[in-house]
Structure 1
Amino acid sequence: MLPGRRMVLRIAAALGATAAAGLFSAGRSSTPGPPATAPPGAAGPHAARRLAPTSYRLQPMTGYTPARVRRAMPPVRQRPFLRVSGAGRSMVLTFDDGPDPRYTPDILRILREHDVPAMFFVCGEQAAESPDLLREMAGDGHVVGNHSWSHPLVTRLGPSRIREELGTTSEVIERAVGSAPLWYRAPYGAWNRHSFEIGAELGMEPLAWTVDTLDWTEPGSDTIVRRVLDGAGPGVVVLSHDAGGNRSQSVAALRAYLPELLEAGYRLTVPRR
């Protein structure tokens, strides 16, 4: 029988800030760029097109200013973390683009039923409209990460706009859950030097993924399940979505593959800093 959430959280919390940064392994490169498994424009929930307003995308709130930042401190990453390392048969489940009151509550309910923590990389414009869902995430032991305010292609933005996208989202998260996010993920998996530096200024580490379910294409829940189970392995970080479109297939897939992962001996965990 796998340890329950309390045991998972005790183990994770004991890692501390230094150990948490070492929990993930990142590609080593002297040139900033996207992870090798997720080239810009080819990975993420809107890979085939530029982001355009949709029915679930809300207007940015007014009156917010970017959170106060501090000078970037080393190490400033040159590539995002890609996978869990040195933690046995551990895996991480991540969900992007939310929260969405149509699908996020069901995902939270399924995770709660199995005592499994996950990471939610939220968009600020979504988070500002559903702070209760952020509080529910944090209350259940999940990690709330930063996925920018409006899901832009970061590599086309100047530093001030990147700082606004990340800083304002961090501020919304902090207001909702009481602490600023410690992890962030670039929309589309597209990173650049400025995003790494500004993320560091805001006290965040970059996290990419190992297995992309491509659930945003709505391939059918069976296909999503197969992609997760086929890609499962020690250290894997799974990318799914809880917003950005019809995510009923993602919910159904989670309900199917999660118990299979647990029965196979995988420990679903999250980083703690």
Structure 2
Amino acid sequence: MSLDIQQALGAIGEPTRFRIMELLGERAMTVGEVADALGALQPQTTKHLQALAAAGVIEVHKLGRRRVANLNRDTFGELAGYLDGLARRNPDDAALESYERAIAVEAAADAGTAAVRTLHFERSFASSPDKVWRAWTDPERAATWWAPRHFAVQAFEIAPHVGAPIRLVLREGRSDTYRSAGQVTAVDPGRRLVFSLAPLDAEGQPLFTAVHTVTIDGAGPTLLRLTIEVSDVHREAASAVAGLDIGWSQLLDALQEALADDS
């Protein structure tokens, strides 16, 4: 029978049963010994032992007239494996910690609307420059990667023409949506794309100005460089600005995966 993790943890979580577990961790004990150690009546102790046994946490061995309780080591092995899995860090842990620190720094800086922040990213791809270019400028292709972890693209509009509007709607969960807008300002087909794109507030106004410059170098492995210049930052935009670094790092990871899938 497979272990019911929740039942086992629930049984252990009750204070008296937790103490019984600690006692049996030291050595096997008769029901009477457990009752004496707890300072409890034997019928009450028996009920706790029965609950622990039903959850698979302990075993009660019938040895003639004696009843000896002992920890079920296999159960604790399964619990240890389960908890060890929960203890392992994953990319979300570092991302959330980094994002929280970045928000605190951005909020504390309060540098005003005149400050300019510049971010630089660089990635190398095995795919051809043409595939990388289409991944940025074909809205259907771009929608496959243009979303950070745990978000999905609900709507996306882009075209490699000067003046073309860019519209991005990201969905988080079932109902939360986040809108961004901008436009293409310069195009050198296959080599360079410049566009503005920034999240919008509840009234549809950009929270800051962000000019993105994408350059693609096809000499050897395809090298992509992305520079983002951020200015005109609203006071309430700290979290949005702070999220640019980690957000675009995740986007470029997603781009790398999408291009690898194409290959």
User: TM-score with structure 1 length normalisation?
Assistant: 0.28
User: TM-score with structure 2 length normalisation?
Assistant: 0.28
Greater strand proportion: 2
Larger Rg: 2
